[in-house]
Amino acid sequence: MSDYVFDDSDLSSSAASKIVDETLLGADDGELYVERGESEALTFDDGRLKTATYDSSRGFGLRCVAGETSGFAQSTNLAPDALRRAAAAVVLAKSGHSGSISDSPARTNKALYDDVDPVLTPVFGAKVDLLQEIDAYCRALDPTVVQVSVTLSGSRRAIAILRSGGERFDDVRPLVRLNISITAEKAGRRETGYAGAGGRKSYDEFIAPEHWKGLAKEAFRQAQVNLESVAAPAGQMDVVLGPGWPGVLLHEAIGHGLEGDFIRKGTSAFSGKIGERVAAPGVTVVDDGTLPGLRGSLTIDDEGTPTSRTTLIEDGILKGFMQDRLNARLLGVAATGNGRRESFAHTPMPRMTNTFMLGGNSDPGAIVADLKDGIYAVNFGGGQVDITSGKFVFQCTEAYRVKNGKVGEPLKGVTIIGDGPTVLTQIRHVGNDMGIDPGIGVCGKSGQNLPVGVGQPSLYVENMTVGGSAG
């Protein structure tokens, strides 16, 4: 019987399980994480196929946990001798320690995505033809279009997690993404618009003409809006945040502070505040890794725990945190399925999956109409965040001036400055239009980058600091 993760290697699953049992004897926790994957990325830029990359990876990460100490070793050599050398290194973590191995995660019968292989289907030539078609379509949208960049990327990763007692947890994870960037020029001024989408599924949905043409039109629309933008004002003012992708601000500004490692170490602004009001009434935030096909979803996390829907804040009251196994054990709570790692070469830690604020009761139009003098921020680009304090600076890629409830001219150079815990208390209205981002989120923590989902409804936030470009 074929075992894709171990096939074509010198290491068998049974031999690996024996070494795992020996390594973890007397430890509190640990696992062997074996991964085999393929990925590709094609970029059509400046009217030609500019880059086409293909990568394959294979390896293991072995971890032994004793108390708060973890021993970890990884290798791309899937062979018994390599695993034994790794075991000899990681057992030092349990030196002088006598523990009892933690129970393995419960099993799940959920499957949040199909076993598809985006790298193989469609074939390479068809993908190149598609990118060329998208490029031609974008350029034909308007004479102002001067540059188009289209990227198609996909991967398939198979993992096996081996624990003590012969326990094994398997998952096969697809991931795809399509990005379109359009630069337009008018009267000597150039501006760019962007749109993208992706998820844990095949390419089929994203390469359908009705889908990618929608992305192309959205990228073009943003470029045209930016061509008309004027310098942004600066100062303290109320801000309305749009639904969907603007949730990246809350993801960064408060999400990391709700991860179990920062809570346990007492470095989060939310440490010791369970049961306290930390946000305005009507604000409910959840992390949900169980939503089928979304970019941040996982059938099981990277420790084998099924993902879950974890309520973090409910009606403004702090209710819970995101936990991996290590921090959950040390805090005396249950793991929530948030133990994630970038690859076999990394240790797991508490990480977000799909983190979003639930919708409220306010009509989005009424929310904007209530804004007497402020900013309507529709889309965000990059930003900087201090994870422990939640202090942030985010750049808006699409924003508008609002006066007396009327949306006016688009603005260029808008930055939103503040800190997450404070922003939560300044929310006046929560819209009924909650949306999840289209599948473009990437989250970084301690040098590890992971796909995530973000979302929120329209939000009216009082008294934010806006950095502008007006002289």
* CB-count burial class (<10 Å; 0-12, 13-18, 19+) for 73: middle
Percent of the chain with pLDDT over 90: 93
Domain 13-227 fold is PmbA/TldD fold (3.30.2290)
Please compute the mean of the pLDDT values over residues 254-272 and round it to a whole number.
Answer: 94
pLDDT of 471 higher than 70: no
| pLDDT at residue number 221 | 98
The residue among 353, 303, 319 whose CA lies nearest residue 112 is: 353
Average pLDDT over residues 436-457: 96
pLDDT single digits (tens) 48-90: 999 999 999 999 999 999 999 999 999 999 999 999 999 999 9
Distance CA 289, CA 311 (A): 12
For 415-445, how does the pLDDT look when each residue is reduced to its tens digit (9 = 90+)? 999 999 999 999 999 999 999 999 999 999 9
458 pLDDT exceeds 70? yes
Q: What is the 3-state secondary structure (H, E, C) of the chain?
A: CCCCCCCCCCCCHHHHHHHHHHHHCCCCEEEEEEEEEEEEEEEEECCEEEEEEEEEEEEEEEEEEECCEEEEEEECCCCHHHHHHHHHHHHHHHCCCCCCCCCCCCCCCCCCCCCCCCCCCCCHHHHHHHHHHHHHHHHHCCCCEEEEEEEEEEEEEEEEEECHHHCEEEEEEEEEEEEEEEEEEECCEEEEEEEEEEECCCCHHHHCHHHHHHHHHHHHHHHHHHHCCEECCCEEEEEEECCCCCHHHHHHHHHHHHEHHHHHCCCCCCCCCCCCECCCCCCCEEEECCCCCCCCCCCECCCCCECCEEEEEECCEECCCECCHHHHHHHCCCCCCCEECCCCCCCCEECCCEEEECCCCECHHHHHHCCCEEEEEEEEEEEEECCCCCEEEEEEEEEEEEECCEEEEEEECCEEEEEHHHHHHCEEEEECCCEECCCCEEEEECCEEEEEEEEECCEEEEEEEEECCCC
* pLDDT confidence of residue 110: 87
Q: Mean pLDDT throughout 174-182? A: 98
Q: What is the per-residue pLDDT for 366?
A: 98
Mean of all residue pLDDT scores within the chain: 95
Residue range 151-171: average pLDDT? 97
Q: How far apart are CA 423 and CA 250, in angstroms?
A: 9
Is it true that the peptide bond before 122 is cis, omega within 30 degrees of 0?
yes
In the chain, domain spans: 13-227, 235-467
pLDDT reading at 387 higher than 80: no
> What is the structure's pLDDT at 388?
76
Which tens digit of pLDDT belongs to each residue from 322-348? 999 999 999 999 999 999 999 999 999
Query: Which of 246, 243, 185, 192 is CA-nearest to residue 219?
Result: 192
Worst-scoring range by mean pLDDT, 133-137, 329-333, 388-392?
Answer: 388-392
Whether the per-residue pLDDT at 1 is higher than 70: the answer is no
Residue 148's pLDDT is: 98
Confidence of residue 381 (pLDDT cuts 50, 70, 90): confident
Average pLDDT over residues 7-31: 97
Residue range 100-127: average pLDDT?
Answer: 93
